[in-house]
């Protein structure tokens, strides 16, 4: 057996192993909206940074609950007359200083750190809801594009069947050449519409894959109707705004409790001798350093905290107003979409009956091809409208869930 053949077999074997490895490690396509959200969440940059933010918030709590507001410091010093008198004078000094909490400062900073952790968690939940809204939009955009593509394919199929019938009757001398041209023109128009729908479908599927990392499922199931009609207190956006407001309030209290730098308590030990030959003496001492308050610096910190509080309060009030308005708008949109679907179904029944009458009349020679094409176009348009309204109704339900803060299940 030649070496070239062995290399080819080995290459094919490696290729098969790599393909099997890719199939094993590739994420499975999501089958439900909830599974798609889980996959999209794993790929979201802010979600990946959430673990680090949670760890940072936990570290802030640990620091705020410490025995001291900061780490201790160690100072070393030495004094000698070696370079001028050289009488043997020596002195060594060791000092350890520990910062102390101001009255009420530890409790205030602990509350601020705890509220900061709650804010991080609430913001993660709000971010997941925002991602769910983007995913719901992409989900139903794919469904609408598939519906349009199916209608375009049906239009082409019926146009080709009609053209075959017209061509047969034209060759038999029953129809004029203009009828054959009209039938062929309808086929060309249907082919163009199908190409446009293919491009639109590819674009929506790529947008879905960008969010989730996988292709959209074959069956895009709608969400169940909402069981509530107004946002509750656990709405992620409301919870995030409340957590931000609580964190700003805690920061104001922390700024009020920190009106000066932390005082320091130091333990000092000195070992020295006056001259060579004299014994060393040891001295212990305690030092308390109390920084004086600086009114401009205090006002600066308090003003920044109050400005943040005012902004958080305004954003909280805005979220409350927006949630109520969005829920009312989504409810009205859902009702209007349901009515539009009912009207589209009535129109489809009427246009389908008209098309059947036109086909019979054309087969009997009682009407021309133009009337048949017009009736056929109306029926196809009505059928497409029903499909679009069905997708729109499912999308409206998802929008209602989104405004209520309900994640896909």
Residue 259: give its domain's CATH number: 1.20.1600.10
In this structure, of 81-85, 138-142, 323-327, the range with the lowest mean pLDDT score is 81-85
Q: What is the pLDDT of residues 283-298, one digit of tens each?
A: 898 988 888 877 788 7
Average pLDDT over residues 361-368: 85
Which of 91-95, 183-187, 209-213, 227-231 has the least mean pLDDT? 227-231
44-53, 80-89, 351-360 — most confident range:
351-360
Q: Is residue 131 part of a domain?
A: yes
pLDDT at residue 82 in the model: 76
Q: What number of residues does the chain have?
A: 409
Q: Which residues of 56-77 are buried (b: 16+ CB within 10 A; e: fewer)?
A: ebeebbeebeeeebeeeeeeee
Determine, yes or no, domain membership for 31: no
**What tokens appear for 52 in the block?**
């680090």
Report if pTM > 0.85.
no
Strand 264-273 to 73-80 pairing: unpaired
**No. of helices (H) and no. of strands (E), the chain:** 8, 4
Number of other residues whose CB lies within 10 A of the CB of residue 6: 10
- Averaged pLDDT score across all residues of the chain: 87
How many independent structural domains does the chain possess?
A: 1
Cα 149 to its chain centre, rounded Å, is 29
Instruction: State mean pLDDT over 309-325.
Output: 94
Buried b (16+ CB within 10 A) or exposed e, 224-257: eebeeeebeeebbbbbbbbbbbbbbbbbbbbbeb
Domain containing 399 equals 37-404
pLDDT confidence tier of residue 28, bands split at 50, 70 and 90: low
Q: Looking at the domain assignment, is residue 24 inside a domain?
A: no
The answer as to whether 13 is a domain residue is: no
Say if 89 falls within a structural domain. yes
Instruction: Work out the pLDDT band at 70, boundaries 50, 70, 90.
Output: confident
Res 40 pLDDT > 80: yes
**Residue 78 neighbours by CB distance under 10 Å:** 9
User: What pLDDT, on the 0 to 100 scale, is given for residue 2?
Assistant: 43
Residue 137: what pLDDT?
95
Which of 44, 42, 33 lies closest to 143 in space, CA to CA? 33
> Does residue 23 form part of some domain?
no
Min mean pLDDT across 95-99, 162-166, 269-273 is at 269-273
Q: Is residue 95 part of a domain?
A: yes
Whether 133 is covered by a domain: the verdict is yes
Give yes or no for residue 15 having a pLDDT over 70. no
Q: Which tens digits make up the pLDDT trace of 374-407?
A: 898 899 899 999 999 999 999 999 999 999 999 9
Q: Examine the pLDDT at 125 and tell me if it is beyond 60.
A: yes
Residue 147 is classified by DSSP as: H
pLDDT at 21 over 50: no
Look up residue 219 and give its DSSP letter: S
């Amino acid at each position: 057996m030649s070496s070239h053949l062995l290399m080819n077999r080995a290459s094919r074997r490696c290729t098969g192993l790599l393909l099997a490895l890719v199939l094993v490690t590739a994420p499975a396509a999501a089958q439900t909206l909830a599974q798609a959200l889980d996959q999209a969440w794993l790929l979201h940059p802010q979600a990946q940074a959430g673990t680090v933010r949670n760890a940072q918030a936990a570290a802030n709590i640990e620091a705020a609950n410490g025995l001291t507001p900061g780490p201790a410091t160690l100072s070393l010093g030495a004094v000698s007359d070696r370079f001028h008198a050289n009488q043997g004078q020596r002195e060594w000094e060791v000092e350890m200083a520990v910062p102390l909490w101001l009255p009420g400062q530890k409790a205030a900073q602990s509350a601020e750190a705890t509220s900061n952790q709650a804010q991080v968690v609430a913001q993660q939940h709000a971010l997941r809801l925002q991602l769910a809204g983007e995913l719901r939009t992409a989900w139903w955009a794919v469904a609408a594009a598939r519906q349009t593509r199916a209608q375009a394919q049906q239009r082409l199929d019926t146009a080709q069947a009609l053209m075959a019938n017209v061509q047969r009757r034209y060759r038999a001398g029953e129809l004029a050449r203009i009828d054959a041209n009209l039938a062929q023109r309808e086929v060309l128009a249907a082919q163009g519409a199908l190409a446009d729908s293919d491009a639109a479908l590819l674009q929506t599927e790529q947008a879905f894959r960008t969010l989730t990392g996988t292709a959209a499922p074959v069956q895009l199931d709608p969400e169940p109707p909402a069981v509530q009609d107004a946002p509750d207190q656990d709405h992620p956006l409301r919870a995030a705004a409340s957590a931000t407001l609580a964190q700003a309030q805690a920061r104001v209290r922390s700024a009020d409790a920190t009106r000066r730098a932390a005082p320091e308590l130091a333990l000092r030990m000195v070992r020295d001798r006056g001259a060579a030959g004299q014994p060393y003496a040891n001295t212990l001492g305690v030092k308390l350093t109390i920084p004086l308050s600086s009114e401009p610096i205090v006002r600066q910190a308090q003003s920044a905290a109050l400005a943040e509080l005012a902004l958080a309060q305004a954003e909280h009030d805005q979220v409350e107003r927006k949630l109520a308005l969005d829920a009312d708008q989504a409810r009205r949109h859902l009702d209007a979409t349901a009515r539009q679907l009912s009207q589209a179904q009535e129109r489809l029944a009427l246009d389908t009956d008209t098309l059947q009458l036109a086909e019979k009349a054309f087969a009997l020679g009682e009407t021309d091809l133009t009337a048949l094409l017009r009736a056929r176009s109306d029926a196809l348009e009505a059928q497409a409208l029903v499909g679009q309204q069905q997708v729109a109704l499912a999308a409206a339900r998802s929008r209602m869930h989104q405004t209520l803060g309900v994640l896909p299940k």
